[in-house]
Amino acid sequence: MQLYNTLSAKEREGLIEEAGKDRLTISFYKYAHIGNPQIFRNHIFLAWDALEVLGRIYVAHEGINAQLSVPAENFDALKAHLDSITFLENVRLNIAIEQDNKSFLKLKIKVRDKIVADGLNDATFDVTNKGIHVGAEQFNELIEDPNTLLVDMRNHYESEIGHFKNAITPDVDTFRDSLDIIEEQLSEFKEDKKLVMYCTGGIRCEKASAYYKHKGFKQVYQLEGGIIDYTRQVMAKGLENKFMGKNFVFDQRRSERISEDIISNCHQCGQPCDTHVNCANEACHLLFIQCESCAEKMDQCCSAECKEIHALPEEVQKELRKGKSKSNKIFKKGRSEALLYKKTPEESARTIFTSH
C-alpha cells in the first residue's frame, strides 16, 4: 500500500507530458474537527493518488487546506469523493483562473498542528464567531464606502504584484506577523469603522475575522472565496473589477493575471515588472521579481555572487552545498540587500504598514 509520493518532479513532469491530459488546478479549505488526522490523511492519499491528483495538502485536527491539480476527466470522481466525506460535502472549490497542467508535480499530504500557521491560541476566543462573508458585488460596494478599512491579509511579496484599490497592505513576511500589527495599527477604529479583509482563497480571513471580533472590532467582513472566487464572480456577472495586477499563487504558476495593470518593479533594474522567479543558484533559491532583460544579463540569478556560483559545473555546485542547510533566503521572499529595488529587512521594519 503506497502512502507517499515515489516519483521525482522531473519524472512526473514527463508523465504529464506523455499523458497529454488537461488538468484543473483547484483549491479549497474547511475547518472541521478531525479526530485522527493521520488516518484521514492516509485515506485521502489512497483515494486521490488513484485519481492522479497532485498538490500540497495540509491536514490537522482543525480541518483541511488543499491546493491541488487533477485531470479534468477525473474531476467528477474527485468531487464525488469529497461529497462522500461528511464535512466536505458541497465544499466550495476555487478553480484557478489560469490553468497550467504542471502547476503541481507531486502529491504531498502532510499532517500539521494547524492548516494555516497563524500563531493563535484558539482556546482564548470563539473561532466560530466569524465575520460576515460577502460576495463580489457587496464587496465592491463596501470598499467604496469611506467608512471602510480594507486590509490585505497576505504577505508583502503577494500584495506587491497585485491588490485591491485603496487596500492597506502590511509589509510582513508571514500571516502570523500581520495579525497583531493590524490590530495595533487600527485599534482606534474598532467601534466606528468597517474592517473588510481579503486573501487568496479565504482561509486566512476565516479565523482572522473571529480573532478581530474577539479583539473588539464591531463590524468585520471578509471576501467570500478570496481573490480567486471574486474574479470568477466578476467575470460571470459582468461586475467592475477592482483588483489591480496579479494574484500570487503557491504553485508552479506563481501567479494569475487578474488585470493588465503592472504595479510592481523588477528588483534589479526598477523597470515595471510583475514576474516572480527563484534564483537559479540552488543554494540560494531566493524568490524575487526579475524582468526578461535582467534574467538574461544575470543568468536568472539574484546577485553577481549567485551568478558566479551558477556558472560553475554542477558537481562543483553540489560540493559547495554539501553539509549546508537550505538557505533561509527562500523564506524571505525578496528580502535581500543584493536587490537594489526591493526594501531590505531593516527598511521594511520601518514601514510595516502601507496603503495604496
Instruction: Kindly write down the DSSP assignment for every residue of 30-79, as one continuous string.
Output: EE---S-HHHHHHHHHHHHHHTT-EEEEEEETTEEEEEEEEEGGGHHHHH
What is d(CA 77, CA 93) in angstroms, rounded to the nearest whole number?
Answer: 14
Residue 199 appears among annotated catalytic residues? yes
Domains of the chain and CATH, by start:
9-111 (3.30.70.100), 132-237 (3.40.250.10), 276-331 (no CATH)
Residue 152 Cα to chain centre, angstroms: 12
Q: Is 324 helix (H, G, I), strand (E, B) or coil?
A: coil
pLDDT of residue 129: 87
Please identify which of the residues 199, 266, 291, 302 carries the catalytic annotation. Answer: 199
pLDDT of residue 352: 45
pLDDT of residue 111: 97
Using alpha carbons, select from 356, 352, 307 the residue that is nearest to residue 143: 356
Q: Is the Cβ–Cβ distance between 115 and 30 less than 8 Å? A: no
Q: How many Cβ atoms from other residues are within 10 Å of residue 66's Cβ? A: 24
The model carries a pTM of 0.85
Per DSSP bridges, beta strands 63-71 and 276-278 are unpaired
What is d(CA 26, CA 278) in angstroms, rounded to the nearest whole number?
Answer: 23
Per DSSP bridges, beta strands 132-134 and 353-355 are unpaired
What is d(CA 212, CA 267) in angstroms, rounded to the nearest whole number?
Answer: 34
Q: Is the Cβ–Cβ distance between 195 and 149 less than 8 Å? A: yes
One digit per residue, the tens of pLDDT, for the chain of length 356 reads 678 878 888 888 888 988 889 999 999 999 999 999 999 999 999 999 999 999 999 999 999 999 999 999 999 999 999 999 999 999 999 998 888 899 999 999 999 999 988 888 878 888 888 999 999 999 999 999 999 999 999 999 999 999 999 999 998 888 888 998 999 999 999 999 999 999 999 999 988 999 999 999 999 999 999 999 999 999 999 999 999 999 999 888 899 999 999 999 999 999 999 999 999 998 888 999 999 999 999 999 999 999 999 999 999 888 888 876 654 444 456 678 888 887 544 444 434 455 55
Residue pLDDT, tens place only, 47-105: 999 999 999 999 999 999 999 999 999 999 999 999 999 999 999 999 988 888 999 99
Q: Is the Cβ–Cβ distance between 338 and 327 less than 8 Å? A: no
pLDDT of residue 334: 63
Q: Find the DSSP H helices in the chain.
A: 9-19, 37-50, 75-84, 136-143, 156-159, 175-185, 203-214, 226-237, 292-297, 304-310, 314-321, 329-332, 345-350
Handedness of CA 140, 144, 146, 150 (dihedral sign): positive
